[in-house]
Amino acid sequence: ELHVGVEDGGAAEEIEENMKRAFWDMLDQAVGGEKPDYDWVVKLYREQRDRLCAITPSRKDLHEEVHKALDVELFEQMLRNQAFEASDLHATVSFTFSRLSQLCSPARDPEISARRDELYALLKQEGLTFNRFVVPFLRAFHTTVDDIEGDISAFKHHMSSASASASASHTPGGAA
């Protein structure tokens, strides 16, 4: 008998992990078959670019850099024509994880470096295909952005709690 209550974060986390695992398994099947689902991969690449922009400061030049480096139309053309070289993938990993390391807290640097290095090692494998690379790359990217977004959320929560405490202590009848 399973009882899931508000206080039971473990069940919610387990459900979330199972859903993520199912998503990555479905993507792996979609890109690994005889007729890869390139539309889905292009949509995910666009989402990657947009998520990177969403955590990037609101400066036009920085957003233009992301759009130029992660050009969705060029990506789609290269994908559909199977024109990817290892150097193209290396450049994408390099740009993406360099930008992520600029946006994260310094405490995240070792994790980001490890994920980037795992992708570089994968790129060195003999006979690597784009289809075998895309899932680990997207998983590493989205995991990193999820971590950064979680850090931002925790920081905002901490700041609002600190602000609320400070204003409560300075109001008439407060603890000041």
Q: Which of 98, 40, 43, 44 is nearest to 69 (CA)?
A: 98
Region 102-114 average pLDDT = 94
Q: How far apart are CA 135 and CA 141, in angstroms?
A: 10
Q: What is the pLDDT of residue 158?
A: 87
Ramachandran quadrant class, 173 (left: phi over 0; alpha: psi -120 to 50; beta: rest): left
User: Does residue 115 surpass a pLDDT of 80?
Assistant: yes
Tokens of 117: 């290095």
Q: Are 138 and 51 a contacting pair, CB within 8 Å?
A: no
Contacts by 132-137, CB closer than 8 A, 24 or more apart:
132/32, 133/89, 134/27, 134/31, 134/41, 135/24, 135/27, 135/28, 135/31, 137/89, 137/92, 137/93
Q: How far apart are CA 86 and CA 94, in angstroms?
A: 12
Q: Which residues of 110-129 are buried (b: 16+ CB within 10 A; e: fewer)?
A: ebbeebbeebeebeeeeeee
User: Does residue 6 surpass a pLDDT of 80?
Assistant: no
Q: What is the pLDDT of residue 130?
A: 83
Q: What is the pTM of this model?
A: 0.80
Q: What is the pLDDT of residue 1?
A: 46
- Provide the 10 A C-beta neighbour count for residue 99: 19
pLDDT in tens, 28-72: 888 887 888 889 999 999 999 999 999 999 999 999 999 999 999
